[in-house]
């Protein structure tokens, strides 16, 4: 059994950690038991964090771009110096294999470093009037901070996604209130410790862990919050939007990505990419391949090849570099995935492989000939399940791909450039990858969804644009 550890605990408000009587016990997904305890903020502490951020707005606004760049560089250095500690935390609190956990820390470091480069694009521009009656007008157009940014982060990438929200918010000169996912607050607590070393103005960055039921509405409903960055489910995003009122909303929400595989595709490549898209981090990714749409001419071959490819996805010790699959975040999530699989089988799908679970671990599963009315075709599953359904022609593939309320990512596998580009234009998704599984990378390319999959676009420079407003000073 794991031994409970004490990390930078409690809440971080106005430049210091404060003791809190309530605690969150974080389960160790690597070997059971309680991994760590962190302070659990209540409504009073949540308001205290917003108070501090509001008071710090002026100090943050008046910092130079050079100062912000120095802060971001220092934070990156601090995270990098604690790489192994943070990787260990991510393995335990998120159940992520060690190789993936180390990659996540590297991603967080790189996102803070790249935000340094983006800071220099906030210098503004000089314009001259060109229309009749405005000859001789001159204007300085400057990006300015929106004020206070509330960051609501998910459990599946507890450090990397937090970096993608916090780094642009600081780069834009905003004060920040961070509330991490209840199940994965430890990496955020260590990040707060790293940010403390950068010596931002007191209240420039604040961290409050706590149950969403206790502080979620207190944070999102406070009228001193000027922007909300959130990664989470579509249902949670809609709730936050209802509570928040007229603020900048920057949300990456649920996904149900289709991967359309045509008869002319390189099947070996398509199978490898679809397996990776379905099973990486046990499918607990908004960009996961949720359904493989295979042309009827290659459906059976695709299923056979996926079955063989699944031999490369095995569970094991999360600290073993060879392990590729870990547990789901909770028994409730495992229950949900089990329900979805049973629903598909009851409606006629073929269970080719897997389907069993042991507590929070769900066996990698392959379903073929999945009917279009199965819940797996329309809902975000967040589990290690490859779902293969067939289509007859492009029109049917497009109809299936666009069915439902989500539109975050999609993939198209074909050697026909014109077909690929035509479908990419017509698929209702924020991003379409040709001959590859969806992947958001570090944020060089914007990503975000349509329909119920989100508002705005993430990515370092793109996120900064969400956290600044434009002021024109006209001479």
Digitized pLDDT (tens) for each residue of the chain, 475 residues in all = 344 455 555 667 766 666 666 888 899 999 888 888 888 899 999 999 999 999 999 999 999 999 999 999 999 999 999 999 999 999 999 999 999 999 999 999 999 999 999 998 898 899 988 887 778 889 999 999 999 999 999 999 999 999 999 999 999 999 999 999 999 999 999 999 999 999 999 999 999 999 999 999 999 999 999 999 999 999 999 999 999 989 999 999 999 999 999 999 999 999 999 999 999 999 999 999 999 999 999 999 999 999 999 999 988 999 999 999 999 999 999 999 999 999 999 999 999 999 999 999 999 999 999 999 999 999 999 999 999 999 999 999 999 999 989 999 999 999 999 999 999 999 999 999 999 999 988 878 889 999 999 999 988 788 899 999 999 999 8
Q: Mark whether 335 and 361 lie in a shared domain.
A: yes
CATH number where 277 lies: 3.40.309.10
pLDDT at 31: 87
pLDDT at 9: 55
User: Tokens 């430049």 correspond to what residue?
Assistant: 15
Enzyme catalytic residues: 252, 286
Domain that holds residue 198: 5-253+453-474
CB-count exposure of residue 205 (10 Å: 0-12, 13-18, 19+):
buried
Number of domains in the chain: 2
Q: Mark whether 121 and 64 lie in a shared domain.
A: yes
Distance CA 8, CA 26 (A): 14
CATH number where 177 lies: 3.40.605.10
| Per-residue b or e along 379-398, where b marks 16 or more CB atoms closer than 10 Å to that residue's CB | bbbbbbbbbbbbbeebeebb
pLDDT at 114: 94
pLDDT at 314: 86
Q: Mark whether 421 and 376 lie in a shared domain.
A: yes
pLDDT at 11: 63
CB atoms within 10 A of CB 55: 16
pLDDT at 342: 97
Q: Mark whether 243 and 280 lie in a shared domain.
A: no
Is 59 inside a domain boundary?
yes
Q: Mark whether 389 and 470 lie in a shared domain.
A: no
Distance CA 321, CA 307 (A): 23
pLDDT at 152: 98
Distance CA 16, CA 49 (A): 11
Q: Mark whether 305 and 409 lie in a shared domain.
A: yes
Is 122 inside a domain boundary?
yes
pLDDT at 14: 63
pLDDT at 157: 97
Q: Mark whether 87 and 18 lie in a shared domain.
A: yes
pLDDT at 39: 85
HEC string of 4-29 equals CEECCCCEEECCEEECCCCEEEEECC
Give, in order, the Cα–Cα distances in Å from 60 to each of 53, 55, 145, 200, 357.
9, 10, 9, 8, 49
Residues 246, 250, 253, 255, CA torsion sign:
positive
Structure tokens that stand for 332 in this block: 């409730």
Q: Mark whether 289 and 398 lie in a shared domain.
A: yes
Q: What are φ and ψ of residue 407, in 5° steps? A: -160, 70
Q: Mark whether 337 and 371 lie in a shared domain.
A: yes
Q: Mark whether 233 and 283 lie in a shared domain.
A: no
Distance CA 431, CA 407 (A): 9
Sheet holding 409-413, edge to edge: 350-353, 365-368, 385-391, 289-295, 257-261, 409-413, 431-434
Which residues lie closer than 8 Å to 79 by C-beta, 6 or more apart?
86, 105, 108, 109, 112, 159, 163, 191, 194
Q: Mark whether 412 and 311 lie in a shared domain.
A: yes
Q: What are φ and ψ of residue 275, in 5° steps? A: -65, -45
Q: What angle do CA 64, 70, 74 make, to 5 degrees?
A: 150
Structure tokens that stand for 169 in this block: 């918010």
Q: Mark whether 243 and 262 lie in a shared domain.
A: no
Is 447 inside a domain boundary?
no
Is 448 inside a domain boundary?
no
Cβ(22)–Cβ(50) below 8 Å: no
Structure tokens that stand for 433 in this block: 């990858």
């Amino acid at each position: 059994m794991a031994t409970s550890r004490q990390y930078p605990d409690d809440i971080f408000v106005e430049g210091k950690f404060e003791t809190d009587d309530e605690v969150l016990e974080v389960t160790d997904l690597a070997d059971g038991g309680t991994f760590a305890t962190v302070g659990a903020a209540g409504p009073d502490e949540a308001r205290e964090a917003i108070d501090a951020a509001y008071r710090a707005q002026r100090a943050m606004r008046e910092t130079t771009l050079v100062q912000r760049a120095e802060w971001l560089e220092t934070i990156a250095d601090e995270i990098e110096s604690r790489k192994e500690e943070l990787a260990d935390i991510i393995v335990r609190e998120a159940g992520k294999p060690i190789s993936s956990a180390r990659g996540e820390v590297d991603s967080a470091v790189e996102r803070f470093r790249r935000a340094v480069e983006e800071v220099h694009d906030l210098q503004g521009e000089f314009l001259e009037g060109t229309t009749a009656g405005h000859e001789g007008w001159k204007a300085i157009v400057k990006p300015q901070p929106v004020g206070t940014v509330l960051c609501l982060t998910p459990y599946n990438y507890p450090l990397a996604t937090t970096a993608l929200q916090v780094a642009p918010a600081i780069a834009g000169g905003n004060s920040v209130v961070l509330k991490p996912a209840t199940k994965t607050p430890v990496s955020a607590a260590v990040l707060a410790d790293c940010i403390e070393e950068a010596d931002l103005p007191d209240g420039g960055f604040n961290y409050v862990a706590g149950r969403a039921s206790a502080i979620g509405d207190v944070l999102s409903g406070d009228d001193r919050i000027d922007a909300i960055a959130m990664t989470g489910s579509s249902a949670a995003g809609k709730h936050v939007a209802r509570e928040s009122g007229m603020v900048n909303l920057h949300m990456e929400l649920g996904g149900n990505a289709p991967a359309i595989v045509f008869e002319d595709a390189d099947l070996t490549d398509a199978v490898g990419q679809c397996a990776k898209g379905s099973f990486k981090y046990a499918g607990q990714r908004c960009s996961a391949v949720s359904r493989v749409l295979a042309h009827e001419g290659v459906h059976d071959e695709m299923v056979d090849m996926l079955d063989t490819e699944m031999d490369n996805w095995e569970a094991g010790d999360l600290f073993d570099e060879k392990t590729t699959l870990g547990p789901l975040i909770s028994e409730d999530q495992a229950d949900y995935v089990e329900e979805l699989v049973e629903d598909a089988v009851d409606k006629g799908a073929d269970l080719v492989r897997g389907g069993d679970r042991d507590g929070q671990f769900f066996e990698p599963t392959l379903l073929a000939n999945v009917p279009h009315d199965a819940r797996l075709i329309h809902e975000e599953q967040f589990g290690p399940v490859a779902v293969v359904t067939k289509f007859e022609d492009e029109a049917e593939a497009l109809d299936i791909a666009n069915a439902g309320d989500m539109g975050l990512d999609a993939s198209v596998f074909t050697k026909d450039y014109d077909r690929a580009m035509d479908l990419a234009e017509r698929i209702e998704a924020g991003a379409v990858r040709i001959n590859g599984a969806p992947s958001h990378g570090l944020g060089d390319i914007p990503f975000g969804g349509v329909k119920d999959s989100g508002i705005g676009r993430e990515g370092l420079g793109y996120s900064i644009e969400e956290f600044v407003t434009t002021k024109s000073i006209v001479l």
